[in-house]
Amino acid sequence: MKKISFLSMCLFLYTIGFAQNINWLQRNGALKVVGGKILNSKNIEPQLRGVSLSWSVWQGKKYYNEDVVNWLQSDFNINLLRVSMAVQPDGGYLQNPVEQEELITKTIDAAIKKGLYVLIDWHDHNAHQHLNQSKNFFTKMAKKYSGKPNIIYEIFNEPEKIAWQTVKDYAIAVIKEIRKYDPKNIIVVGSSHWDQDVDLVAKDPIKGFDNIAYSFHFYASEPSHQELLMQRAEMAIASKLPIFVTEWGVGEANGDGKFDIDKTNRWFAWMEKNKLSSANWNLTDKNETTAILKPGAAAEGKWSMDTLTPAGLYIRTQLKNLNK
């Protein structure tokens, strides 16, 4: 019985891995954009890897708390957390700005305390239609978090069928507001066509500001997100456009569909080759392919392996292997 117990314990420890509590801010310091690359304070590409919380309304809302942040840091080994504040949906920022700010800031503060980097995501497909609200929100965030190198501002999530010039004009207006209070932290600008047209952005990037990067999104199993999309991103990288993969998923663009492991591995290897920082979509217990948790997973973290979906098991394994 003692041998069986010992072997069982060894298997258990192998399965869960060992908790890590690395202070990633101390390791990397303030981030900056130089020569089309995101670098840390030692002029090395830090390649942040983490997860994105889901919309801050609906099912994903319950995971916006300190216990979850602590578990993601110690068990998943994340060094990046994306906080996706819902803007347009019922209950989102447009209707409940005070409630939404309180929800995300307590989560941001928890991540800062653990030495994680945080993407503050204005999760809006039509941000150009809500410019004043966006400027007001990011003014508050810049005032609150100026001097906190952990913070990265993501000012427009997935512009839909919107011309780059429209996105660019919006971005410049918001960047100007942020830079009044936070002159250094990285600002990530959305690219048109759901953050896919980075090749077009590379031909006409924003000028006159330091530490600006651009978001690129893909879903690894989506039929239209394969060779041609990867080539477009490579064209942008070759043009020295600093890219940040602020959202990617193992399934298809609707969040569901097939989890194609070969395609996912190919995309993951591509990010590693190009040393791109990324946040995986998404931490929720919704019954869909890209959800990291199975329905009913606890709101306080401490999830067992049988609570994780295939996507969750895959992401956890990758992060534990690479974030060391």
Catalytic annotation, residues: 158, 247
In this structure, are residues 226 and 262 in contact, taking their beta carbons and an 8 Å threshold? Answer: no
| DSSP track, 296-322 | T--TT----GGGB-HHHHHHHHHHHHH
The span from the first CA to the last CA of the chain, in angstroms, equals 35
d(CA 161, CA 196): 11
Where in 230-308 does DSSP place strands (E)? 243-249, 278-283
d(CA 80, CA 235): 26
| Burial track 16-48 (b if 16+ CB lie within 10 A, e otherwise) | eeeeeebebbeebebbbbeebbbbbeeeeebbb
Residue 193 CA to its chain's centroid (Å)? 18
d(CA 49, CA 263): 19
Give the burial class of 62: count Cβ atoms within 10 A of its Cβ; 0-12 exposed, 13-18 middle, 19 or more buried. middle
d(CA 271, CA 217): 12
In this structure, are residues 156 and 170 in contact, taking their beta carbons and an 8 Å threshold? Answer: yes
d(CA 59, CA 288): 12
